[in-house]
Structures are given as C-alpha cells and as structure tokens.
Amino acid sequence: MIDCPNAEMRDRLPELAMERLGPHERVALVAHVAECAACAAEFALLRECRRVLGRSVRVDSARVARAVAAQTLHGGTARRTPGSRAWAWSGWRAAAAVLVIAGGASLTTIYAIRGRRDAGSEHSSTLSSVPLENAIAGPSTLAKASASAAVQDATEHPTRPSAEAADTELSIGGGVSDLSEVELRALLDEMGKVDALPPAEPEPVIVRVTSAPPGDTE
C-alpha cells in the first residue's frame, strides 16, 4: 500500500473519519480523498479500525459514578476510605511512624540504662573520694557510704525523684542501685548483722605492744 505524499491531507484523515472537521476543511479533504487512491484506502482502513476498536466496552457508568461519589468528597478533597490505596498508604506511613517512635524510645531507654551502668562504674571509680578507712573496710562500708549519700540527697531534695527511683522503673539488670532507699537500708542492716561474712579485704592487723606497769609481773 503506497502512502499519499500529501502529508497535510493525510494527517487530517482521522478527523474526517470522526466527522470533526469544519465545513470548508471537510469539503477540501473529501475532494482530495475522491481523487487519491492511497488516501481513499487509508480512509477506509481508518473507518474499519474505528468500527473494530471503537466497539463499546460494557461499563456500568451509573455504578462507576456511585462508586466514585462514595470515594470522593465534595469540593475535590479526597476522602480516604478504608480499602482505598491512598488510605492503605497513609496507614503504612502511620505504622512506620509508630515503629520509628517505638524504636527511638527503646534506644533511648537502652542508652539510659547503659549510661546509668557507666555512671555506676564511675561511681565505683570515685572510691578515691571515699575516706581511706572506709575503703579499706570493705564493700559493706562502701554501700553504707553510698546509702548515706543517697539519704543525704533525699533529705536535701525531698521532692526530686532520686536516681534510684528512676532505676526501679527502667533497670532490667538488677543491682544495688535498683533498690529503693528503704530496701537499701534494710539490706545494709541485714548485712551488718551477718558476722560470718568474710571481709573482701584482709583486716589490718594492728599489734599493740604496751609495756606492763611496774609490779604487774607474774
């Protein structure tokens, strides 16, 4: 099949097939098609294509209109109905946001716990500030020193939540710092009553040599 060399006329054939040309243009093109075998053949093919491809596909327009109305709001604003893609997408975003927040809170908690543990180790490293006799006396004395510091702190700031109280909520490891002030006191009292508990460090042995008073020799 040979194409018409008049591209301008040929380009307008679909409009002629759809009857969308103005009267003057239509007359000119109809005259051209009457004389041009290539355009006549193409015009016939276009009409056949329109007949075949343009067959109406069964769509219930009223039902579509109802569904569209149900999924949209007046004024062109979207109504996100459950089940729609937009709704599902916003749901995913909300879920992702919750995950991010939950993850952030978990990390904050973990870091807080680690921070307290580190602080605890720092606390033990501050033993140098504890009087030497207490340090030598063993762990029970250290605990007493810490407890006394906590008691002092609680006495000075009665409304401020103590670090121990916060640890009660957050800590998962368990330790002396997890105990409340009352529990710590009870523990210290119990420890003080246990005589069999060996000291961690050997007690300093102090040998006192005293001279006997005169006349006390036997």
Partner 1 sequence: MTEVTRSDDGATDLELIARWRAGDEHAATQLVERHAPALARFASSVGVRDDIEELVQDTFVRAFQSLEGFRGDSSFRTWLFTIERRLLLDRHRAQRRRRDRVEVREGDIATEYDALDSMMADEAGARVRTAVEQLSPMQREVFTLRVTEGLSYKEIAGVVGTTEGAARVHYHNAMRAVKEFLDD
Residues at the site binding partner 1, with contacts judged by CB under 8 A:
1, 3, 11, 14-15, 17-18, 20, 42, 45-46, 48-69, 71-72, 74-76, 78, 84, 86
CA 85 to chain centre: 23
Which one, 60 or 122, has the nearer CB to partner 1? 60
Taking the alpha carbons at both ends of the chain, their separation in whole angstroms is: 148
Which one, 83 or 158, has the nearer CB to partner 1? 83
The SS3 of residue 217 is coil
Per-residue HEC secondary structure of 70-82 comes to HHECHHHCECCCC
Which one, 47 or 185, has the nearer CB to partner 1? 47
- What is the smallest separation between the CB atom of 49 and partner 1, expressed in angstroms? 5
| Helices 85-125 and 163-170: angle between axes, nearest 10 degrees | 130
Which one, 33 or 137, has the nearer CB to partner 1? 33
| Number of neighbouring beta carbons within 10 Å of residue 7 | 9
Which one, 58 or 193, has the nearer CB to partner 1? 58
Beta-bridged to residue 72, according to DSSP, are 78
For 1, residues 6+ apart whose C-beta sits below 8 A from its C-beta are 38, 41, 42
- What is the smallest separation between the CB atom of 62 and partner 1, expressed in angstroms? 7
d(CA 171, CA 180): 12
Residue type present at position 80? R
